[in-house]
Amino acid sequence: MRILKFWPLLTLLALAGCSGSWGWYVVNPATPAGQRNLMFLLDGLYYTIALSVTAIAISVLLGLLVALPGLARQRPPRVINRVYVELVRAVPILVLILWVYYGLPQVADISISVFWAGVLALAISDSAFQAEIFRAGIQSIDRGQHEAAHSISLSYVDKMRFVILPQAIKRILPALGNQLVYMLKMSSLVSVIGMEELTRRANELVVTEYRPLEIYTVLVMEYLVLILLVSAGVRWLEARMGMSDRR
């Protein structure tokens, strides 16, 4: 039934595909040239996934570390948390990518590859949002859970590890899934520094084939399928974790 919601879009694409102004031969899987072009586009999938997954893993860890000072009773740690979150969120992600790739080597006198420049920029940008997600998730846990952990003499680390974070992660899982989808989409911006991911591959193919409409349509479909699969995986994980709570 869900596919019925998209029938106008599917119909429009079908009609457009029949139009003489479309040159689908460049991505026609029935021809050798079309197969080569499709494989060239799909080869960027590995870098898109590797870039996004690595960046989201780092941003989750960094976001958690940034969130914890925001939960402190003392004012200085909370100020540090707030300053970091506000400053990072204020910088456009494209600007941050360019600064990390071109500016960081001059500032820190280090050599950084395109891949790790993209990972670092995406992770830093996303960590501010992850910090707010973790802070809200941890604060949503009932105070009695903290008191119960203290009553059995758990340390702060053990309390977070065994009592608070497992419950908080179940509550913030939808938000974490949204951030993964966001990261997959924002990874396309790393193409500006030469990362050979999906968008960069499409741009290079457009330069040689001069058929931007058809090639970018395939690019849209690639991202659409990838993000729908990720969204389905997140929903499945939510359902599994919900089932474990009901047992």
CA 160 – CA 134 distance, rounded (Å): 12
CA angle 149, 153, 159 (to 5 degrees): 40
If one compares 123 and 163, the residue with the highest pLDDT of the two is: 123
| Token pair for 29 | 């899987």
> Among the listed ranges 47-56, 150-159, 166-175, 236-245, which one has the minimum average pLDDT value?
236-245
Q: Mean per-residue pLDDT for 152-158?
A: 84
Domain boundaries, the chain: 25-246
Amino acid in the structure at residue 158: D
- pTM comes to 0.84
Selected from 1.10.3720.10, 1.10.150.20, 3.40.50.300, 3.40.640.10, the CATH number assigned to the domain covering 25-246 reads 1.10.3720.10
Range picked from 66-75, 103-112, 116-125, 234-243 for highest mean pLDDT: 116-125
Beta strands in 113-228 (DSSP E): none
Report pLDDT for 238.
82
**pLDDT tens per residue, range 190-241:** 999 989 899 999 999 999 988 888 899 999 999 999 999 999 998 898 888 7
Among 203, 202, 199, 217, which Cα is nearest to 21's? 217
Token pair 């969204």 in the structure block, residue: 231
| pLDDT tens per residue across span 61-70 | 999 999 999 8
Q: Answer for the pair 37, 205: CB distance below 8 angstroms, yes or no.
A: yes
Q: Is the pLDDT of residue 31 over 60?
A: yes
In whole angstroms, what is the distance from residue 172 CA to residue 137 CA? 6
- Cα–Cα distance, 86 to 76 (Å, whole number): 15
Percent of the chain surpassing pLDDT 90: 49
